[in-house]
Amino acid sequence: MDKKVIEIFGLTKKYGSFTAVDNLNLTIGKGEIFGLLGPNGAGKSTAILMLMGLTEPNSGTVRVCDIDPSRNPVEVKKKVGYLPEDVGFYDNLSGMENIIYTARLNSIPIGEAEQRAIKLLGRVGLSNELKKKAGKYSRGMRQRLGLADVLIKNPEIIILDEPTMGIDPTGVKEFLELIVRLSREEGITVLFSSHHLHQVQKVCDRVGIFVNGKLLAEGDIHSLAKQLFKTSAYTIEVGVSPEYFGKGSTKNKSIKANQLKDKLVSLKGVVTVNVKNNLFLVECSTDISSELARTIVNSGADLNYLNKKEYGLDDIYYRYFEGGNAYE
Amino acid sequence: MNNLENKTQYNQNTGLKRLFGFFSRIREQKHLKRSKRIIRPFWVMVQKEVADHVKSWRFIILMAIIALTCIGSLYTALTNISKAANADNVDNAFFFLKLFTISDGTLPSFFVFVGFLGPLLGISLGFDTINSEQNRGTLSRILSQPVPRDYVLNAKFTAALIVVGVMFFTLSFLVIGTGLIAIGIPPTVEEFMRVIFYTLLSIVYVSFWLNLSILFSVRFRQAATSALSGIAVWLFFTVFYPLIFNLITKAFEPSKFASARVIYLYEKLKFVLVQIMPNELFSEATTTLLMPSVRSLGPLTIEQLQGTIPGPLPLGQSLLLVWPQLTGLIAITILCFLISYLLFMKREIRSR
């Protein structure tokens, strides 16, 4: 983690008046799995293209393994494997021939390339499809072949642009597990772009949220939640005995519920209390679950449910898009 | 007895086995050598492209068309060559070259055919060079390998050039061979050299069309658009440009009684206008190379002709005569290459 393999400072890319990537700053450490999360058209792919030297930035600097990709793209490409979005293969060649070709472009002698290809294709679960023409591969198989293609040059970094698009859920799960395993076993740094938050949440050490060309926040999921929900870092769901809510809204019941609600609001650290689905949702700045429980029990109600809720990427993601400009 | 037979058989078997073992060892060693060899990425790409061309239906069809037309023109040439031999002609010294140029009017001669089909060959080998890679999504994958970007263009051009070169040399040599068998007169060294230069010239000509279509393939995303633009340029130069040329020259035509200088300038203008056409450059150059009696391609004044002895030019002189045409062809080829280079090198490579 101490060694930085990708460093980006003030990176900007404009297409005419449209700014695709706006002053991006980002560093990624060795062996990390970094998730670049953002909606479609946020500029994720453009940022990645600049990392690979496939397009030139308007301003800002990029260092990949201490090399400038716009000056010296070939050196960068020796160390970085890039799986483009919707990768294509030569349909008239078999899967194996396709990645052997890649290997030979990396100056790996044929014999070694063949051995490596067989090993890697086994690893991504394509052992039975070695000789099959790449044109007959399914979407998921193509994506796995793409991963093998990226790995055959023994890269230090792999960049995956929307790698799970179009694969079925079980396929996605296997694919992501494979990536994590590879990264952990061989110490490969992974930059992974996606608009699927669950996938990112599952595999990434750190996440950057990328909207309209700007990196709005970065960090692990916990610290992201803290950055975002400064005032109310915790939400505690509390369920009390059904007489407080019950069916039909008799006056008595709602008065009781309101009294309890007022009591809860008056507690120290509580920001708001909402009632939803027969549960009190208590948003608070510190963890006061025990105090909360005591208060409820003391007030004579039966406490039957208490859940401390931590923010997932889901909440973080939606919060950003809801909040829109407020967080920029 | 039985035992003995078995034994001899056994001995034979071991002998065979040893022999096989020896061969398989050689093969293994060869394989080992091959498997350890590192070919430079550029040549890896060229290899793949050549393989793709040769295996593709497109190339097989083109090859068949060209082979058939050549057989046809060779046949007419062979049936008519006896007449040509009798005729009292300065070119008689270059009897063998007749194979390439003679025709009885039913089928065009070999070199006219090559001039006609060459552009088609060049365009069809190049029109989907870059855009097909882009549309298949392989371009960004290849360009994320440690190869300089221009390798893609260069390798594809080199591969197509190799394919065209091999094809043309094969054709020329086949024509020479057939001619040799059919008429029984071997070509002189000069005739042979003329055929070689002619073949080289044809390759340069095809490579111009190849580069033009590579340029279109860099420029246009759709392969069909790029193929059509290539064909449009070809049609323009073969059909429409001569029409325009006629219009212009008609407008400037001097009267019968105009001074020699005006007529000379007019002829010069005609010459210049014609020189713009790549196909004209090619046909002028091939005519000069294959018909040694051609002494000049532009207008000549009477003074220039005075004192000349009718007779064929030596090869060196013919080459000197076509030098401008050759340079022109190479120059427009390089120009096309340069433009595609400029378009391609700074381009952003997105997947699909």
**What is the tens place of the pLDDT at every residue in A255-282?**
777 777 888 888 877 877 877 777 788 8
Does the structure show a pLDDT above 50 at A324? no
Domain boundary among A227, A244, A266: A227
Q: How many domains would you assign to chain A?
A: 2
- CA B8, CA B3: separation in Å to the nearest integer? 9
Domain boundary among A178, A208, A227: A227
Cα A169–chain centre separation: 16
pLDDT, average across residues A54-74: 89
Is position A326 within any domain?
A: no
Cα B87–chain centre separation: 32
Split at pLDDT 50, 70, 90, the class of A325 is very low
Q: Are residues A147 and A204 in the same domain?
A: yes
**Predicted TM-score (pTM) of this structure:** 0.80
- CA A228, CA A125: separation in Å to the nearest integer? 40
pLDDT, average across residues B177-192: 86
Q: Are residues A110 and A186 in the same domain?
A: yes
pLDDT, average across residues B126-149: 91
- CA A286, CA A270: separation in Å to the nearest integer? 8
Q: Give yes or no for a contact between B216 and B229, defined as CB atoms under 8 angstroms apart.
A: yes
Does the structure show a pLDDT above 80 at B197? yes
Instruction: Name the average pLDDT for chain A.
Output: 83
Q: Are residues A193 and A283 in the same domain?
A: no
User: Closest approach of chain B CAs to the CA of A93, in angstroms?
Assistant: 10
- Between A317 and B79, the higher pLDDT residue: B79
The answer to whether the Cβ–Cβ distance between A109 and B37 falls below 8 Å is yes
Q: Are residues A50 and A67 in the same domain?
A: yes
- CA B182, CA B191: separation in Å to the nearest integer? 17
Structural domain range at position A289:
234-310
Does the structure show a pLDDT above 50 at A94? yes
Does the structure show a pLDDT above 50 at A220? yes
Residue A202, φ and ψ in degrees, nearest 5: -70, -40
Is position A22 within any domain?
A: yes
Does the structure show a pLDDT above 50 at A75? yes
Q: Dump pLDDT digits (tens) for B203-262.
A: 999 999 999 999 999 999 999 999 999 999 999 998 899 899 889 888 888 887 888 888
- CA A199, CA A177: separation in Å to the nearest integer? 10
User: Closest approach of chain A CAs to the CA of B114, in angstroms?
Assistant: 31
As given in the structure block, the two tokens for residue B236 are 């323009």
Is position A76 within any domain?
A: yes
Q: Are residues A49 and A127 in the same domain?
A: yes
Which residues fall within 8 angstroms of residue B20, CB to CB, at 6 or more apart? none
Which residues fall within 8 angstroms of residue A160, CB to CB, at 6 or more apart? A83, A147, A150, A179, A190, A191, A192, A193
**What pLDDT, on a 0 to 100 scale, did the predictor assign at position A245?**
58
Is position A97 within any domain?
A: yes
Q: Tell me, what CATH number does A25's domain have?
A: 3.40.50.300
pLDDT, average across residues B137-164: 92
Q: Dump pLDDT digits (tens) for B281-329.
A: 888 888 888 888 777 776 666 777 777 777 777 888 888 888 888 998 9
Which residues fall within 8 angstroms of residue A290, CB to CB, at 6 or more apart? none
How many residues are present in chain A? 328
**What pLDDT, on a 0 to 100 scale, did the predictor assign at position A155?**
92
Q: Are residues A146 and A8 in the same domain?
A: yes
**What pLDDT, on a 0 to 100 scale, did the predictor assign at position A328?**
36
Is position A197 within any domain?
A: yes
User: Closest approach of chain A CAs to the CA of B143, in angstroms?
Assistant: 8
Which residues fall within 8 angstroms of residue B138, CB to CB, at 6 or more apart? A88, A89, A90
Number of residue pairs across A and B with CB atoms under 8 Å?
Answer: 99
**What pLDDT, on a 0 to 100 scale, did the predictor assign at position A97?**
93
Which residues fall within 8 angstroms of residue A292, CB to CB, at 6 or more apart? A236, A238, A264, A267, A282, A306
Q: Which residues of A touch B143 (CB under 8 A)?
A: 54
- CA A15, CA A106: separation in Å to the nearest integer? 32
Q: Are residues A109 and A80 in the same domain?
A: yes
Q: Which residues of B touch A103 (CB under 8 A)?
A: none
pLDDT, average across residues A14-43: 88
Q: Tell me, what CATH number does A294's domain have?
A: 3.30.70.100
| DSSP labels, B285-310 | HHHHHH-TT---SS---HHHHTTPPP
Does the structure show a pLDDT above 60 at B87? no
Does the structure show a pLDDT above 70 at A225? no
- CA A229, CA A208: separation in Å to the nearest integer? 16
The answer to whether the Cβ–Cβ distance between A111 and B35 falls below 8 Å is yes
Quick one: angle between helices B189-219 and B110-126, nearest 10? 30
Q: Around Cβ A74, how many Cβ atoms within 10 Å?
A: 16
Q: Around Cβ A234, how many Cβ atoms within 10 Å?
A: 20
Mutation test of the interface with chain A: which of B131, B133, B135, B145, choosing the one with the most A Cβ atoms within 10 A?
Answer: B145
Instruction: Name the average pLDDT for chain B.
Output: 85
Measure Cα distances from B290 to B97, B118, B284, B319 in Å. Answer: 6, 17, 10, 11
Domain boundary among A160, A195, A227: A227
Q: Which residue, B226, B242, B230, B327, is CA-closest to B277?
A: B242
Q: Which residues of B touch A75 (CB under 8 A)?
A: 146
Pick B141's closest partner by Cβ from A56, A74, A84: A84
Percent of chain A scored above 90 by pLDDT? 23
Q: Are residues A121 and A51 in the same domain?
A: yes
The separation between the first and the last C-alpha atoms of chain A, rounded to the nearest angstrom, is: 28
Q: Which residues of A touch B141 (CB under 8 A)?
A: 82, 84, 87-89, 102, 146, 149
Q: Dump pLDDT digits (tens) for A129-142.
A: 889 999 999 888 88
- CA B257, CA B86: separation in Å to the nearest integer? 41
**What pLDDT, on a 0 to 100 scale, did the predictor assign at position A1?**
46
A4-15/A59-64 β-pairing: antiparallel
Is position A328 within any domain?
A: no
Q: Which residues of A touch B32 (CB under 8 A)?
A: 111
Measure Cα distances from A149 to A99, A104, A154, A182, A287 in Å. Answer: 5, 11, 10, 14, 48
Is position A61 within any domain?
A: yes
The answer to whether the Cβ–Cβ distance between B145 and A106 falls below 8 Å is yes
pLDDT, average across residues B154-167: 94
Measure Cα distances from A271 to A232, A267, A279, B49, B319 in Å. Answer: 7, 9, 16, 68, 94
Does the structure show a pLDDT above 90 at A243? no
Q: Are residues A70 and A196 in the same domain?
A: yes
Is position A129 within any domain?
A: yes
- CA B215, CA B339: separation in Å to the nearest integer? 7
pLDDT, average across residues B160-180: 91
Q: Dump pLDDT digits (tens) for A174-212.
A: 888 888 888 888 889 999 888 877 778 778 888 888 888
